[in-house]
Amino acid sequence: MADYKAPLRDMRFVLNEVFDVASLWAQLPALAETVDAETVEAILEEAGKVTSQRIAPLNRGADEEGCHWKDTVVTTPAGFPQAYQTYAEGGWVGVGGDPTYGGMGMPKVVSAQVEEMINSASLAFGLYPMLTAGACLSINAHASDELKQTYLPNMYAGVWAGSMCLTEAHAGTDLGIIRTKAEPQADGSYTISGTKIFITGGEHDLTENIIHLVLAKLPDAPAGPKGISLFLVPKFMVNADGSLGARNTLSCGSIEHKMGIQASATCVMNFDGAVGYIVGEPNKGLAAMFTMMNYERLGVGIQGLASAERSYQNAIEYARDRLQSRSPTGPKAKDKVADPIIVHPDVRRMLLTMKAFNEGGRAFSTYVAMQLDTAKFSEDAVTRKRAEDLVALLTPVAKAFLTDLGLETTVHGQQVFGGHGFIREWGQEQLVRDVRITQIYEGTNGIQALDLVGRKVIGSGGAFYQLFADEVRHFISTAAPELAEFTKPLAAAVDNLDKLTAWLLDRVKNDPNEIGAASVEYLHVFGYTAYAYMWALMARAALGKQGQEDFYASKLGTARFYFARLLPRIHSLTASVKAGSESLFLLDAEQF
Ligand SMILES: Cc1cc2nc3c(=O)[nH]c(=O)nc-3n(C[C@H](O)[C@H](O)[C@H](O)COP(=O)(O)OP(=O)(O)OC[C@H]3O[C@@H](n4cnc5c(N)ncnc54)[C@H](O)[C@@H]3O)c2cc1C
């Protein structure tokens, strides 16, 4: 496998030249105080080093070894505890954390780049700090000051880790039917009893304590999602002076044997009257958990991108070296027995598809991160509301589209290697296995698509969609004439999405199955159109600079490829949506 190289040049291009994030920060006083271009540059450089030098080299061995479980104790693969300590000591777990409690206070546009690097280095490793950062977000937004002061500093410092305990054997998508119970105690605490499954980092040897956020039901809770509360349940109790006390009554019953992310411990967690503390209001646990959902879902989308980037880096190196057959237009490497496979049109198709999806995905995830930062830090209510609505609309697209393309891209990367992509040595098959989970956890991609169409597009009567379409149209109408080769097909794609959205808004009035029948393909039409906007923005930033650096010529060439070869996929997807729900219900359940 090629060494991982953090794509810092492209990250700088997206942050500085495409989106000019410094001027966004200047408008957000809370960020203007904590963030400046020099600090961000140093952060990106350092993150590039720690992820490529310290973590990426562990990825393959950790996959071979996996995690170990014995008598409730989980051990991570060789090298993980030491690497985690290095990562934590660098402050990386708290990179986006609240400075009041020791976090670095970086905006999401910056922590998003760090997330990409850590997940490219090792998706299984990256999950441990990611779950901790997610738990911190919920605690910071909803827990009492006392809980925040007791837990956040050690979690941001990476001394303690976090986990999110939602899923039960009979309740995954439908959390309204969970059975875990919470009994109130005289001292204001609760006892938590029940079994959670599939808990990432539920138990491990990386940190001295693990802070579980657990969804459970109070005795008098109403049925369904409105009867769920959120509790903080530490593995070890914390004494008044901050030292660790007795072991809480919870344990890891086993770990799963699974397709990928072998080095991430996926745990069955048993809570046997464990002491917990409520986070937020009784029966408002799902809302408290959803505070971090937009951040986490974008983070999972970035995991898809990260795996795809690693696969691309390997594939491009291999395609330049591997000699097979001659170019259709005559020999290119005349001194060699055959040409490198990068001369073949089909290999170029795969490599360019990978490059176009990855760079488009990096721009899109950064764009969504900018909306998250604006929604969190803007002091202007109108600006904040617009950003919140865009976050609501775009988060399911980011989660599902980036991870669906993550799988497609890693499969292309495997295919470039031919048979060598199927065997372990080169690492390409691991990336395919690892990235697959990103389409499933944190709400399956099918559920993301339902969220986009049902709650966000139809639920807002098309208003959230209109915000996005208006922004793209404004860009098109103010773009320089030299950009017409990009803005014309972009305008056609937005027209197509407008019509499809209007068609859907109309169709769902008469057929309740229409949302679910249309949702996945609609999300993909949306995703390709959003990437077209990103590619037009990138083309604008690169145009005229081709002579300065190969980077810009490569950017423009990739933009042309995206518009010529990938954007047209919207036409077949649109036709599928418009075929409606009818053909999905021609068979009875027994006729399958
Ligand atoms: C490796 C791994 C790590 C995980 N980490 C965590 C973790 O840290 N914490 C945690 O709490 N959970 C975790 N999970 C659980 C994960 O989030 C769930 O598996 C996921 O949400 C799906 O739930 P389920 O498996 O019960 O599938 P189900 O909910 O049973 O869904 C089965 C299928 O039905 C579809 N479906 C369900 N309902 C609908 C509907 N209304 N409309 C249309 N389609 C529907 C789904 O999209 C899916 O295709 C993890 C899972 C794995 C495998």
- In angstroms, what is the span from residue 165 Cα to ligand 1's centroid? 13
Which atom of ligand 1 lies at the shortest distance from residue 442's CA?
Answer: 17
Q: Which long-range contacts (CB under 8 A, 24 or more apart) does 65-68 make?
A: 65/262, 65/263, 66/262, 66/263, 67/204, 67/255, 67/262, 67/263, 67/264, 67/265
| Predicted structure pTM score | 0.98
Which of 115, 168, 429, 442 is the catalytic position?
442
Among 267, 265, 231, residue whose Cα is nearest residue 248: 231
Nearest CA to ligand 1 atom 14: 198
Point out which residues pair with 277 in neighbouring strands.
232
Containing structural domain, residue 522:
444-582
Q: Identify the sign of the CA torsion 106, 400, 118, 202.
A: positive
Which residue of 123, 173, 254 sits with most ligand 1 atoms within 8 Å of its CB, as the best mutation to test the pocket? 173
Instruction: Provide Rg for the chain, Cα atoms.
Output: 24
Instruction: Please give the pLDDT value at position 291.
Output: 72
At 242, list the tokens.
């901050």
Q: What is the largest CA-CA distance in the chain?
A: 84
Point out which residues pair with 163 in neighbouring strands.
212
Which residue of 165, 444, 451, 513 sits with most ligand 1 atoms within 8 Å of its CB, as the best mutation to test the pocket? 444
- In angstroms, what is the span from residue 497 Cα to ligand 1's centroid? 29
SS3 call for 219: coil
Instruction: Please give the pLDDT value at position 65.
Output: 98
Which residue of 127, 131, 167, 179 sits with most ligand 1 atoms within 8 Å of its CB, as the best mutation to test the pocket? 167
- In angstroms, what is the span from residue 40 Cα to ligand 1's centroid? 36
Please list, in sequence order, all residues whose beta carbon lies within 8 angstroms of the beta carbon of residue 33, skipping any fewer than 6 positions away: none
Q: Tell whether 109 is covered by a domain.
A: no
Rounded Cα gap, residues 425 and 431, in angstroms = 12
Residue 195 has φ and ψ, to the nearest 5°, of -125, 130
Q: Tell whether 179 is covered by a domain.
A: no
Instruction: Please give the pLDDT value at position 53.
Output: 97
Nearest CA to ligand 1 atom 17: 441
Q: Which residues line ligand 1 (CB under 6 A)?
A: 164-167, 172-173, 198-200, 258, 266, 437, 440-444, 446-447, 450, 516
- With 0-12 / 13-18 / 19 or more C-beta atoms within 10 angstroms meaning exposed / middle / buried, residue 88 is buried
Which atom of ligand 1 lies at the shortest distance from residue 167's CA?
Answer: 11
The total domain count for the chain is 1
- With 0-12 / 13-18 / 19 or more C-beta atoms within 10 angstroms meaning exposed / middle / buried, residue 112 is buried
- In angstroms, what is the span from residue 377 Cα to ligand 1's centroid? 32
Q: Tell whether 226 is covered by a domain.
A: no
Which atom of ligand 1 lies at the shortest distance from residue 172's CA?
Answer: 26
Task: Work out whether strand 181-184 and strand 160-165 pair parallel, antiparallel, or are unpaired.
Answer: unpaired
Q: Tell whether 483 is covered by a domain.
A: yes
Q: Tell whether 497 is covered by a domain.
A: yes
Q: Which residue has the tokens 């949702």?
A: 519
- In angstroms, what is the span from residue 198 Cα to ligand 1's centroid? 9
Please list, in sequence order, all residues whose beta carbon lies within 8 angstroms of the beta carbon of residue 135, skipping any fewer than 6 positions away: 155, 162, 163, 164, 211, 213, 292
Nearest CA to ligand 1 atom 4: 198
Catalytic residue check, 115: no
Q: Tell whether 457 is covered by a domain.
A: yes
| Ranges of the chain with pLDDT below 70 | none
Instruction: Please give the pLDDT value at position 293.
Output: 83
Q: Tell whether 557 is covered by a domain.
A: yes
Q: Tell whether 291 is covered by a domain.
A: no
Which atom of ligand 1 lies at the shortest distance from residue 171's CA?
Answer: 26
- In angstroms, what is the span from residue 267 Cα to ligand 1's centroid? 15
The answer to whether the beta carbons of residues 218 and 293 sit under 8 Å apart is no
